[in-house]
Amino acid sequence: MDKSLLINGFEQALKSLADALASPAQSDLEKAGCIQYFEFCFELAWKSIRIVAGNQGLADCSSPKACIKQAFASHWIDHEEIWLDMLSARNRMSHTYKAADALAVYDRLREYRQQMEILLAALKTQD
Looking at residue 3, what is its pLDDT?
78
Range of the domain at 95: 3-124
Q: What is the CA radius of gyration of the chain?
A: 14
Model pLDDT for residues 28-77, shown as the tens digit of each residue: 889 999 999 999 999 999 999 999 999 999 988 899 999 999 999 999 99
**pLDDT bucket at 125, cuts 50 / 70 / 90:** very high
Given a contact cutoff of 8 angstroms between Cβ atoms, the answer to whether 10 and 85 are in contact is no
Each as own residue / partner, the long-range contacts of residues 45-48 (CB below 8 Å, 24 or more positions apart, any chain) are 45/10, 45/116, 45/119, 45/120, 47/1, 47/6, 48/3, 48/6, 48/7, 48/10, 48/119, 48/120, 48/123
Tell me the average pLDDT of the chain.
92
Looking at residue 1, what is its pLDDT?
61
Q: In the chain, how many domains are there?
A: 1
- Domain CATH for 89: 1.20.120.330
